[in-house]
Amino acid sequence: METQTQNLTRAFDKMPNEFSSNKFITIAKKYGISDYEVINGHIVRFLKERCNRRGKRTWIKKPTSISIESFLNEHSCINFLKSTGKYKIQTLTQTWTEI
């Protein structure tokens, strides 16, 4: 079972850069957030951590720092090394021969 923070994060990822809290609550309810969780203020605390308030009900996502792990993976590293022309990337392969 997913936690409410995971559900809120999934809803937050679906939101554009600028959005209203009403729209966020609508999306969050689709991911399993209950009316009680809306009323108890958990959503407001969640949004204050990740957004700047523009108006009474309007939020703008804070700029996020990108971690190296988020965009560096084996495939992108191999493509970078190949694009420099200095390296040849090889993989181990087996060839079968008939006896």
How many CA atoms, within 13 angstroms, populate the side-chain half-sphere of residue 72? 7
Q: Are 46 and 5 within 8 A, CB to CB?
A: yes
Say yes or no to pLDDT of 86 above 80.
Answer: yes
Q: Quick check: pTM over 0.85?
A: no
Q: Is the pLDDT of residue 31 over 70?
A: yes
- The single residue listed with the structure tokens 């079968």 is 96
Burial of 51 (0-12, 13-18, 19+ CB in 10 A): buried
Boundaries of every domain in the chain: 1-87
3-state secondary structure of 54: coil
Which whole number is the average pLDDT over 11-16? 91
CATH architecture of 1-87: Orthogonal Bundle (1.10)
In this prediction, residue 1 has a pLDDT band, given cuts at 50, 70 and 90, of: very low
CA distance 96 to 75: 27
CA distance 90 to 75: 13
